[in-house]
Structure 1
Amino acid sequence: MLNSALRSRAEYADLGVDGLAARTTPERDASIVKAVEELLEGRESVLDLCCGYGRIALPLRRAGKTVRALDISPNLIEAGKAKADEEELAIDWAIGSMTDLPYKWDAFDAVVCLWTAFHELFGEDEQISTICEISRVLKPGGIAIIEGPAWGPATAGEIAIGMRQGPEHRIVTTEHADGQSTVHYIHDEISYGRLCAAAGIDDYKVYKREWGGRRRLILEIHAGK
């Protein structure tokens, strides 16, 4: 297991389901689910990659999608599975890393990786491995949606206080209202283009849009037909 995966698993074991859920609202989640459903219109089989406790997987299954859900955190998977069992929703849950997916080639019509999950990968080798894996499991004509924070270039002040660090100052520390902080890798059109080129992907687009009441960055990958 790679370092970023170990770090994320430890963080979410400490934060727990309640702590993670407190960082969103039912209204925001409903808005995001609606956006995802619009982007995935006409596609049936979906992989919710880094699914957490199922805030997207569960509604997609209720809407009739065939859903598989994978996360690095056993406690989050356990919570999602318990809710699915309670509602008698058939979802295939798995514990694993996004850098090495336990699925066959051409397995899904769509892959979604939301809520900054991809941005928890700090090494470019990990990022490229994940993009390759997402591309591998997409069926011809499939689509992948990766969502994360829309940050601009680092300012001198952010660098001075240590808020932005690492290569190209792409690693940012964010303080939350609960007193905890998270660290993410910041992507843009340049970095996503670099990853897609390394993964042999030429059909993609990067754009910003309103997403659950916030301005977010989207990487959209299209598998060839």
Structure 2
Amino acid sequence: MKKRSSSTISQAKTDDQKTPLVPIDSDTGPHDDSNKPQNVIPRSDSSALTQTLAGASHLANLLPTGTLLLFQVLCPMVSNNGHCDHVRRSMTAILLTCCGLSGFLASFTDSFKGSDGKIYYGFATLKGLYTFEYMSPGSGAPDPAKYKLRLVDFMHAFLSVLVFAAIALYDKNVVGCFYPAPKEETEEILGVLPVAIGLVCTTLFVVFPTTRHGIGYPVSN
């Protein structure tokens, strides 16, 4: 019996010597290098184009949501994803004109919350706000002097058209439709012009703010 147990102990020692030791972490257990990626590629910094496109998305907040939604939904279909013939190019130009006109006219719209709790929308005129729907006697008519047409409204309308033009120039469908094979000078202009427009328009929007909250814009109390 003693001889047999001695041979068993020696065999166990021999097996322990053959088995490689695995380092054990007290928190995570044995380390396993098989799941670690062999080639770890660090993420590259955002390119200038990505940052510029992010800035263009912020400029979109200065436009009516309905105008942007109409443009983003119809532009790929009308322009055939940037592959335009003569007819589709004309249709894309009409779409851009309608969206720009929509943003221009929306700058002259305004809204207010009546005493009855209902939101009323209207169009600013020289005499005040012309509402699109009938106001009940208990709704509380707005102060005409507060909603009169002002010079800053025309400036904001013009800036809205410029902002929409800057966003449209970043759209690959629009660029592919009107400039399928742009020259080097054209590519430089398409890369710099929208950034300049966005910078100027954003600055003017901050310097000359508007109190109007028209159709497609957030409504204030």
Please tell me the TM-score bracket, short chain as reference: under 0.3
Answer with 1 or 2: which has the greater Rg: 2
The structure, 1 or 2, with the larger RCO (C-alpha pairs under 8 Å, 6+ apart) is 2
TM-score (norm 1): 0.23
Structure with greater proportional strand content: 1
TM-score (norm 2): 0.23
Structure with greater proportional helix content: 2
